[in-house]
Structure 1
Amino acid sequence: MKDFKRCYTLFSLCALNCGLCSMHLDSYCPGCGGGAGNQPCAIARCSQQRSGIEYCYLCDEYPCEKYDGIDTFDSFITHRNQLKDFEKVKKIGIDSYQSELAEKIEILKHLLANYNDGRRKSFFCIAVNLLELQDVESVAEQIATTEAESNNLTLKEKATLAANLFQTMATKRNIILKLNKKASKK
C-alpha cells in the first residue's frame, strides 16, 4: 500500500504477531507496513484515514466492525490471540510486549534451526504464537534438558520430542495447535 510504513513491522496494527508468521520468516511478507505488505488490507487503509495510528487499540472506535469474528478463522498465522494481545499491550505497554515478542522470535528461530524436520515449521509458529512466553520458555528448557540426557538424537527424533512437549503444554492450557480454516464451499 503506497506510503504505508510503520516503525515496528513485527506486530501488526491489528495485533497479528508477524514475527512469528511462516510467511514473514520465508520473506514472502515484510510484515505490516514493511513496504509492499498486504495490499488490500482494509485495516491499513483505515489506519491511513485516521492519521496513521500505529495500533488499532489506540483508535477511538476500537473495536470496530472490522474485528467482528476476526479470531474465527486464520490465514497463514493464527488470529486467535489478536484481541487478547491488544489487551496485554494495554496492560504491560507496547515496549514490554515487543520485548516479549522478540524473545519468542528468538526461540522460534532456534526451534526452526535445530528441531524442524521439514514438517514442523507451521506447528512451531502456531505453538510459539499461542502459548504465553513463560510456557514457551519452559518447553524450550524441557527440550534442551531431554536432548542433553539423550545421546545423539536424529533430527526427526528431536522434532518429535519438541512437538510432543509443545503439544503437552498446549493441552494443559486448553489450546489447539492448528490453524482454524474456513470450511470449503461446495
Structure 2
Amino acid sequence: MYDLPYGYCGIMCALCNRHIVNGSSACSGCSQNGYYSEPCKIAKCCKEKEILHCALCKEFPCEKVKKIGDFSDLNTNEHYAKVCSCILENGFDVWYQEYEERKILLMIALEKYNNGRMKRYLCELFMREDLVVLQEIMDAANNLIGTPKELSIQFKSLVDQILKL
C-alpha cells in the first residue's frame, strides 16, 4: 500500500540523496529497513508499537522525537515538525499523497535540471519547501531552454528568485 519508503520520524526517504543512488551505498529507506533504521530509536519504537509514524503515537511528542536533529549529510531544515504536523492535522494518507507528488516532481527535476552536481541540492529543496512552492517552481521551469549545464544554472537561479534568496 505504501510503496515509497519513509522515516517513522518524518523524513521522506524517497527524496533523500542516500536513497536515490545506484550501488551498494543506496539506503532502501527506514520503512523498508534501510541502514539508518537499525540504530534509530524512533524506527524501533514505531515497529514495536506497530504504528505507521511517530506522529500517530499516543505519546507523541516524546523525548525521542524532541531530540531529532538533521542528518550530517542532508540539510532538511528539520522538516520533521512540518511532516508531523501535517500527519496530525490531515492524517497519514493525505501526507503520503503529497509525498508521492513531491517524489514525482523531484524525479522530473533530477532528469531535466541536474547537471551531475545538483542531486543533493534538489533533494534538499524538495524536502524543505511546501508542495505549492515546488509546483510553482516546476511550472516556471518548464519555460527554461538550453544545454543541460545552462538548464541547471537557470533552474537554480529560478529557485532563488521564487524563494527570494
Matches within 5 A, 1:26-65: 26=21, 28-38=26-36, 39-50=38-49, 52-65=50-63
Identity of aligned residues (%): 27
CA shift, 1:35, in A, is 3.4
The code of the aligned residue for 1:47 comes to C
Q: What does residue 109 of structure 1 align with?
A: 107
State the alpha-carbon separation in 2 of the partners of residues 130 and 93 from structure 1: 20
CA shift, 1:103, in A, is 1.0
Q: Helix, strand or coil for the counterpart of 2:55?
A: helix
RMSD of Structure 2 on Structure 1 (CA): 2.0
The code of the aligned residue for 1:21 comes to C
Matches within 5 A, 1:1-186: 7-26=2-21, 28-38=26-36, 39-50=38-49, 52-71=50-69, 73-77=70-74, 78=76, 80-145=78-143, 147=144, 150=145, 153-171=146-164
- Conserved? CA contact 1:22–1:76, under 8 Å: no
State the alpha-carbon separation in 2 of the partners of residues 79 and 33 from structure 1: 21
Unpaired segments ≥5 residues, structure 2: none
Number of paired residues? 160
- Conserved? CA contact 1:16–1:82, under 8 Å: yes
- Conserved? CA contact 2:55–2:87, under 8 Å: no
State the alpha-carbon separation in 2 of the partners of residues 160 and 104 from structure 1: 21
The code of the aligned residue for 2:30 comes to C
Q: Scaled by the length of structure 2, what TM-score is found?
A: 0.86
Q: Cα deviation per residue 1:95-151 (whole Å; 9 max; x = unaligned)? A: 221111111111111111111111111111111111111110101111112x2xx4x
CA change 1:114–1:7 in 2 (3 A) is closer
The code of the aligned residue for 2:102 comes to K
- Conserved? CA contact 1:112–1:121, under 8 Å: yes
Q: Scaled by the length of structure 1, what TM-score is found?
A: 0.77
Unpaired segments ≥5 residues, structure 1: 1-5, 173-186
Q: Helix, strand or coil for the counterpart of 2:30?
A: coil
Task: Flag the structure with larger Rg.
Answer: 1
Q: 4+ residue runs of structure 1 moved beyond 4 angstroms?
A: 6-9
CA change 1:168–1:99 in 2 (3 A) is same
